[in-house]
Amino acid sequence: MKIIVICGAGASSTFVATRLRRAAEAAGTDVEAVPSSLSSFAGQLGSADAVLVASHVGDAFADVHAHARAQGVPLAVLPADIARDREGSLALEVVRDLAPRIHHGPALRKEHTMATRTVTIAGSHGLHARPAKLFSAAAKDSGLDVTIAKVDGKAVNAASILGVISLGANTGDVVTLTVEGDGAEGVLDQLATMLETDQDA
């Protein structure tokens, strides 16, 4: 699969892509990681199977997400500490989480419905390890593109437990869930209910 890596600067994108390729090769996973930048990624989307974007791109994330969605290319957010991922293992984990949502070729891609909802975290200890694991597993099992973000914060891949935990969502925090794909409303209902239920009770 061809993965476009965008880290906001050409050099860091190259480092992450190179480490991802090495990790994938060592694991026997077929990944072609291609570094890109915020100024050139749009022209590369047509041949891409997926996009990985760094969390520090800030306001540019919305532009990357819009372009990827228009092309039907699934997108995932890299962990905030991706620069310390010397072995490429974190990036490879993100790719593995993303794999069920990859449509394997532009000819098979199509526009899907999108549903968004704001939800208040009900867990007595917030969205920590156990509820985050249950939530990210449900998002991954849905097979759809699911992101979660705190108010005025960056969206992360809801299928990645690392991404979900990195939000630091506490009891009473409001988050925005976005689901893209066929049956998005049903998946959104399920995930929203999980967040509105105290999993530690």
Give the separation between CA 177 and CA 182, rounded to whole angstroms.
16
Q: Is 128 a catalytic residue?
A: yes
List phi, psi (to 5°) of 78: -75, 150
Give the separation between CA 94 and CA 112, rounded to whole angstroms.
22
Beta carbons of 145 and 101 less than 8 angstroms apart: yes
Instruction: Report the relative pairing of strands 114-120 and 174-180 from DSSP bridges.
Output: antiparallel
Active-site annotation, residues:
128
